Amino acid sequence: MKLQRLAGYGPVAAFVSAGMLLVFAVVGNLMLPPSLAIAQAIIYFLALSGWAATLAVAVFDLEWMQHAATRTRWIQAALVAAIVAAVAPLFVMVAELRGVTIPYVLEIPTTLLLTGVGFTLLVHCIEARRAGLLHGALAWIGIVDGAFWIYLGVLQFIFMFTPKLVMGFVYGLPITELVYLVFAIWLGVHLTRTRRTTVARPVAVTAASH
């Protein structure tokens, strides 16, 4: 499937991404009986993967509106990072279900997930702001939140060697998640309005010509 076919799904993807974040945030903190542990793990990791994947679709749709202005190597690298971030939780899920005991089987993919999402968010918001696709607070919220996710990814990597900075992760994660929810919902609204305006302009021009 050509990537161009994803253009237009940005508003839905942004809202779904916010929903996926809520799902894994809630499911990850539920205290369920051991009999439901496998189901909980599957839902949790699928939600993580879906969160990163739908974010990739949303920012791709945003970038495609001004593809000539935003077609940079940074954008290409950010899309690759988003794909890696979406695949990483699936790797962990398979490893957990099969009982694989490889060292850092959880920490390394989690680092790739967090830094991948953060890098994707940061780059796309910077480029979208430069191209005039995002304005004001929305762009800056995305930039700051992207930096927060990268920060959490770095903490996750450091945690493999020392637990000294774990509290920074514990306190930083809920704040970063909350900021992302605001950004994703706002982005969905912004993309919806932009799409309606884009569709309305040709209709108005056609009507005026007649």
Please count the residues of the chain. Answer: 210
Region 77-104 average pLDDT: 86
Output the six-digit token pair for 102. Answer: 């490889």
Of 76-80, 97-101, 139-143, which gets the smallest average pLDDT?
97-101
In which domain, by residue range, is 34 found? 3-200
* Residue 56, domain member (yes or no): yes
Asked if 110 and 160 count as a contact pair (C-beta separation under 8 A), the reply is no
pLDDT band at 208 (very low <50, low <70, confident <90, very high): very low
pTM: 0.84
Phi–psi pair at 66, nearest 5 degrees: -130, 60
* Residue 18, domain member (yes or no): yes
Burial of 90 (0-12, 13-18, 19+ CB in 10 A): middle
Region 36-56 average pLDDT: 92
* Residue 190, domain member (yes or no): yes
Task: Name the DSSP class of 201.
Answer: H
Residue 66: the pLDDT is: 63
Does the pLDDT at position 63 exceed 90? no
Does the pLDDT at position 199 exceed 60? no
Asked if 130 and 144 count as a contact pair (C-beta separation under 8 A), the reply is no
Return the higher-pLDDT residue of 167 and 121: 121
User: What is the signed CA dihedral for 65, 70, 76, 78, rounded to 10 degrees?
Assistant: -80
Residue 68: the pLDDT is: 58
How far apart are the C-alpha atoms of 95 and 163, rounded to whole Å? Answer: 23
pLDDT band at 194 (very low <50, low <70, confident <90, very high): confident
How far apart are the C-alpha atoms of 98 and 33, rounded to whole Å? Answer: 20
Does the pLDDT at position 3 exceed 80? no
* Residue 208, domain member (yes or no): no
Q: H-helix or E-strand containing 172?
A: helix 166-209
* Residue 210, domain member (yes or no): no
Return the higher-pLDDT residue of 117 and 210: 117
Alpha-carbon radius of gyration of the chain? 19
CA angle 54, 58, 60 (to 5 degrees): 115
Return the higher-pLDDT residue of 195 and 39: 39
Region 54-60 average pLDDT: 89
* Residue 65, domain member (yes or no): yes
Mean pLDDT of the chain: 84
* Residue 205, domain member (yes or no): no
Q: How many structural domains is the chain composed of?
A: 1
Does the pLDDT at position 89 exceed 80? yes
How far apart are the C-alpha atoms of 76 and 120, rounded to whole Å? Answer: 10
